[in-house]
Chains A and B, each alone.
Chain A
Amino acid sequence: MLPPFELLEPHSLDQALKMLATSESVPLAGGTNLLPDLRARGEAGGRFISLAALDQLHGIEHSDSRVLMGARTTLSDILHDPLMPTAAPSLVSMAKVFAGSMVRNAATVAGNICYGSPSADVVPPLLSLDAELTLASAAGERTLSLNDFLLDYKKTARRPDELLISVSWAPPTTGTANLFYKLGRRRGDAITVVGVAVTITIEKGNCTKARIALGSVAPTVFRAQEAEEALVGGPLTATTIGTAAQAAAQASRPIDDIRASADYRRHAVHMLVRRLLTEAWQTAGSQHD
Chain B
Amino acid sequence: MNRIESPAASTANLQLRQVGKPLVRTDSPTKVYGTAVYAGDLTMPGMLCAAVLHSDRASALLRHVDTSRAEALAGVHCVLTAADLPPSQGVMTDMPGQTGGLTKNTKQPILAKDRVRFCGEPIALVAAENAAIAEQALRLIDIEYEDLDGIYDPFDALAPGAPIIFGDDNVVASYKVRKGDIEKGFAEADFIVENTFTTQYQEQAFLEPEAALAWVDEHEVLNIRSSTQVVEHYRAVADAIGLPHNRVRLRAEFVGGGFGGKEVMTIEVWLALLALASRRPVQLVQPRERSFLSHGPRHPFTMTHRTGVSGDGKITALQIKLTSDAGAYAKLSPYILLYATVGATGPYRVDNLHIDSVSAATNNLPACAFRGFGTMQANLACEGQMEEIAKLLGMDSMEVRRRNFIHTGDANVTGQIIRSAVWSDQCATQALATLGERPTDTQTTRIGHGVACYQQSYGRIRWMKDSSEAWVGVEMDGTVIVRSAVTDIGAGQSSALAQITGEILGVPMDQVVVYFGDGAVTPLAGTSTASRALYMSGNATKMAASQVRKNLLSCVAGYFGVKIEQLDMCDSQVFIIDDPQRSIALKDCVKLCAAEGVHRHNLAIFRAPTSEGIDPETGQGEVFPDFTYGAHAAQVAVDIETGEVKVLKSIGAHDVGQAINLRAVEGQVEGSALMGQGFALCEELILKQGRLQTGSLSEYLIPTSEDVPEIKAIVLESRSGLGPFGAKGIGEPVYAPVAASIANAVADAIGVHIFELPITPEKVIKALREKESTK
| Cross-chain contact A188 with B707 (CB below 8 angstroms) | yes
Contact bitstring B690-727, A, C-beta under 8 A = 1, else 0: 00011000110101111100000000000000000000
- A74 vs B447: C-alpha distance in the bound complex, in angstroms? 36
CA of A260 to CA of B686 in the docked complex: distance in angstroms? 12
| Alpha-carbon distance A1/B138, docked complex (angstroms) | 13
Whether A261 contacts B762 by the Cβ 8 Å rule is: yes
Report the minimal beta-carbon distance from B642 to chain A, rounded to whole angstroms: 5
Contact A264 B703, beta carbon cutoff 8 Å:
no
Cβ-defined contact, B761 with A189, below 8 A: no
Q: Which residues of A contact B169 (CB under 8 A)?
A: none
**In the complex the two chains form, is A187's CB within 8 Å of B642's CB?**
no
* Residues of B close to A190: CB separation below 8 A: 701
Inter-subunit contact B704/A1 (CB<8 Å): no
Within the complex, which residue of A1, A189, A261, A275 is in contact with B641, where a contact is CB–CB below 8 Å?
A275
Contact with B along A261-281 (1 / 0, CB 8 A): 100100110011001000000
Pair A272/B701 contact, Cβ less than 8 Å:
no
Choose one: A100, A183, A258; the contact of B761 (CB below 8 Å): A183
Q: Say how far B70's CB is from chain A's closest CB, in angstroms.
A: 15
The smallest C-beta distance from A176 to any residue of chain B, in angstroms, reads 24
B399 interfacial by beta-carbon distance below 8 Å:
no
Q: How long is the Cα–Cα vector from A191 to B698 in the complex, in angstroms?
A: 8
Please provide the chain B residues from 293 to 350 with a CB less than 8 Å away from any CB of chain A in the complex.
Answer: none
Chain B residues 642-692 with CB under 8 Å of chain A are 642-644, 646, 681-682, 686
Bound CA–CA A193/B761 (angstroms): 11
Among B139, B643, B706, B762, the residue within 8 A (CB) of A187 is B706
Q: Are B642 and A1 in contact, with the CB atoms below 8 A?
A: no
- B14 contacts A by Cβ under 8 Å: no
Give complex CA distance A4, B135 in Å. 12
Listed residue (B646, B693, B694, B701) with the most chain A CB atoms within 10 angstroms of its CB: B701
Q: Which A residues touch B760, using CB under 8 A?
A: 185, 260
Within 8 A of A (CB), among B716-775: 760-762, 765
Main secondary structure of the interface of A (DSSP, over half): loop
The yes or no answer to B132 lying at the interface (CB within 8 A) is yes
Q: Which residues on the A side are within 8 Å of B693 (C-beta)?
A: 258
Q: Does A159 contact B (CB under 8 A)?
A: no
A272 contacts B642, CB within 8 Å?
yes
A36 vs B698: C-alpha distance when bound (angstroms): 11
8 Å CB contact of A100 from B641, B681, B694, B706: B706
Residues of B within 8 A of A193 (CB): 761
**Chain A 239-289 interface residues, beta-carbon cutoff 8 Å to B:** 258, 260-261, 264, 267-268, 271-272, 275
Which residues on the B side are within 8 Å of A189 (C-beta)? 698, 704, 706
List the A side residues contacting B132 at CB < 8 Å: 1, 3-4
Q: Are B698 and A264 in contact, with the CB atoms below 8 A?
A: no
**B29 on the interface (CB 8 Å rule)?**
no
B444 interface residue per 8 A CB criterion: yes
CB nearest neighbor in B for A97: B706
Residue of B at shortest CB range from A265? Answer: B762
Residue B131 is within 8 A (CB to CB) of chain A in the complex:
yes
Bound complex: CA of A183 vs CA of B646, how far in Å?
12
With A3-B132, A185-B760, A271-B642 known to touch, is A264 a contact of B765 (CB < 8 Å)?
yes
With A and B bound together, what is the CA distance between A91 and B762 in angstroms?
27
A100 to B139, CA, bound (A): 34
CA distance A193 to B693 in the complex (A): 17
Q: Which residues of B contact A46 (CB under 8 A)?
A: none
Complex-state Cα separation, A193 to B644, whole angstroms = 11
B694 interface neighbour in A186, A258, A260, Cβ under 8 Å:
A258
New A-B pairs, 15, CB < 8 Å, besides A1-B287, A187-B646, A264-B761: A36-B698, A42-B135, A183-B644, A186-B681, A186-B701, A187-B706, A187-B707, A188-B707, A189-B698, A190-B701, A258-B686, A260-B761, A264-B762, A271-B642, A272-B642
Using Cβ atoms and an 8 Å threshold, which residues of chain B touch A3? 132, 135
Instruction: State whether B762 touches A188 (Cβ < 8 A).
Output: no
Q: Which of A1-45 contact B (CB under 8 A)?
A: 1, 3-4, 36, 42
A102 to B698, CA, bound (A): 15
Q: How far is the CA of A264 from the CA of B704 in the complex (A)?
A: 24
Minimum distance in angstroms from B704 CB to a CB of chain A:
3
Bound-complex Cα distance A260 to B758 (A): 13
The minimal Cβ–Cβ distance linking B192 to chain A, given in whole angstroms, is 34
Instruction: Give chain B nearest CB distance to A71 CB in angstroms.
Output: 25
Contact of A100 with B765 at beta-carbon distance under 8 Å, contacts A1-B131, A42-B135, A258-B686 already known = no
For B139, what are the chain A residues with a Cβ–Cβ distance below 8 Å?
42
List the B side residues contacting A188 at CB < 8 Å: 703-707
> Residue of B at shortest CB range from A183?
B642
**With A42-B135, A183-B761 known to touch, is A268 a contact of B704 (CB < 8 Å)?**
no
Residues of A within 8 A of B704 (CB): 100, 186-189
Give the distance in Å from the alpha carbon of A260 to the alpha carbon of B643 in the complex.
12
Listed by A's residue number, 13 A-B pairs whose Cβ atoms lie within 8 Å are A1-B132, A100-B705, A186-B681, A186-B682, A186-B707, A188-B707, A190-B701, A258-B693, A260-B760, A260-B761, A264-B643, A268-B761, A272-B641
- For chain A residues 135-150, which have a beta carbon within 8 Å of chain B? none
Bound complex: CA of A4 vs CA of B703, how far in Å?
Answer: 32
**A183 CA to B642 CA, complexed, in Å:** 8
Contacts of B131 in A (CB 8 A): 1
Find the residue from A36, A183, A185 having the highest chain B CB count within 10 A: A185
Q: How many angstroms from the CA of A1 to the CA of B131 in the assembled complex?
A: 8
Among all A-B residue pairs, the 3 with the closest Cβ atoms: A188-B704, A188-B706, A271-B641
Residues of chain B within 8 A of A267, CB atoms compared: 765
Residue of B nearest to A264 (CB): B762
Instruction: Provide the residues of chain A in CB contact with B698, threshold 8 Å.
Output: 36, 189, 191
Whole-angstrom CA separation of A189 from B287 in the bound complex: 20
Across-interface contacts of A36 in B (CB, < 8 A): 698
- Kindly report which residue of chain A lies nearest to residue B678, judged by CB atoms: A186
A188-B694 Cα distance, complex, nearest whole Å: 17
Chain B positions within 8 Å of A275 at CB level:
444, 641
- What chain B residues lie within 8 Å of A185 (beta carbons)? 682, 701, 760-761
A279 to B132 Cα, complex, angstroms: 54
B706-A260 in contact (CB<8A): no
Does the CB pair A260–B135 fall under 8 Å? Answer: no
Given contacts A4-B132, A264-B765, contact A258 B706 (CB under 8 A): no
